[in-house]
Amino acid sequence: MTQWGFLVDERKCTGCKACEVACKQRNKLEPGGPRLRRVQVTESGEFPDTKVVRFSMSCMHCADPACMKVCPANAITKDEDGAVIAHRDKCIGCHYCFFACPFGVPQYREDDGTMIKCDLCADRRTMGLDPACVHTCFYGALKAGPLNELSEMSQGTAQPFTSDTQPSVVTIGHED
């Protein structure tokens, strides 16, 4: 298995949220419901030396996913690209995955009482299409693919996102 993941280039992201809109559309999610990709905006410092950071985040598709380990219904698995998939047909909506995930990623779906999270656009991958969020980004700030290729492509500028769960996300320009 080659672990897939995302490259998030914070230098390039302008916070346009086209990725958010694409994700909602691909997942047929109504406004008000879960938002599987969200652009986090943080401001620090004082005008005019303000620093604005924009980070487009969904599931980290961890190599060692905490969510999967705690799920009592075995509803979370990793697919052949290493994408962490929450199976809607098995999920009992207990929220354990939400509490276990260091990033609070899985969200509750009121309409059928299950948890939902990014599946790295499994159906689109099957058809040879980019994930919807990646496809739409005008700025080259979001990419998906085998993690080692993403790192190589950045020529060493991308840093892995660190956590015990070994997230499959590399970032450029990220400062903790």
Partner 1 sequence: MSSSLLCTTACSADAAAEGASDITANVTDAISDGNPYGADKIVPVICTCGDVCGMVHTANAYVKDGAIVYYEGNADGNNAGHLCPRGMAGLEIINSPNRIKYPMRRTNEKGVQGEFERISWDEAIETVTDAIVTAINESGPRTVAFGTASAHPGNQMLEVGGAVMRKLFNFDTGSGPGGCWNDLKIGPVATLGDMYHALEHDPFHSKLIIFWGDNSAMAKPQEWGASWGEAKFEHGAKIVSIESRISETSEKADIYLPVRPGTDSYLAMAMANVIITEGLQDQEFIDKYTVGYEEFKEVALRYTPELVEQITWTPADKIREVARLYATTKPAMIEIGRGGNQTGGKNSDAGWMMGRAVTCLIPLCGQVGVRGSGLSLETSVGAFNGNIFHWNMGKTYSAPTNRVKPLFETDQKAASGVWGTSKVLYERDPYGYRVFVTNGNVAGSTGDYAKAEAAFKQMDLVVMHNRIINWTGSAFADILLPACSWAEEYVWRPDWEYSGVSAPAIDPMFECRNDLDIFRTIAITLANKLNLGLSDEEVWPWATDKDFMAQILCNDDIKAEFQKRVDEGKEKFAPFAEGDIDFIASQAFGVPNPYYAGQEEFLPYQAKYYTNNGAPADDPEALWFPTDGGNGKALFKADFLTTASNGVLPALPIPCEPQDSYYAEGNPIESGNWELSDTVKNGYDFVAVGKAHQHWQFLSFNQDMDGGPGSRLLREAFETASMPSCLLNPADAERLGVEDGDTVTIESLYGKIEGVNVILSQTVMPKTVVPPAHWAPAQTKLYPYSLSLERLDPSVRGAVLPPVVGPFSDGGTKRTSGGAQNCQSGVLCKVYKA
147 binds, options partner 1, ligand SF4, none, Cβ within 5 to 8 A by partner type: none
Which one of partner 1, ligand SF4, none is in contact with 129 (Cβ closer than 5 to 8 A by kind)?
A: partner 1
Binding site for ligand SF4 (CB under 6 A): 13-19, 22-23, 26-27, 36-37, 39, 56, 58-62, 65-67, 84, 101, 103, 105-106, 117-121, 131-133, 136-137, 139, 141-142, 165
**How far apart are CB 156 and ligand SF4 at their closest, in Å?**
21
Asked if 105 is part of the footprint of partner 1 (rule: CB under 8 A), the reply reads: no
Q: Residue 63 or 146: which CB sits closer to partner 1?
A: 146
Q: Tell me, letter by letter, the H, E, C secondary structure of the chain.
A: CCCEEEEEECCCCCCCCHHHHHHHHHCCCCCCCCCCCEEEEEEECCCCCCEEEEEEECCCCCCCCHHHHHCCCCCEEECCCCCEEECCCCCCCCCHHHHHCCCCCCEEECCCCEEECCCCCHHHHHCCCCCHHHHHCCCCCEEEEEHHHHHHHCCCCCEECCCCCCCCEEEECCCC
Kindly state whether residue 156 participates in binding partner 1, applying the rule CB under 8 A.
no
Residue 117-146 contact track with partner 1, rule CB under 8 A, x = bound? --x-xxxxxxxxxxxx-xxxxxxx--xxxx
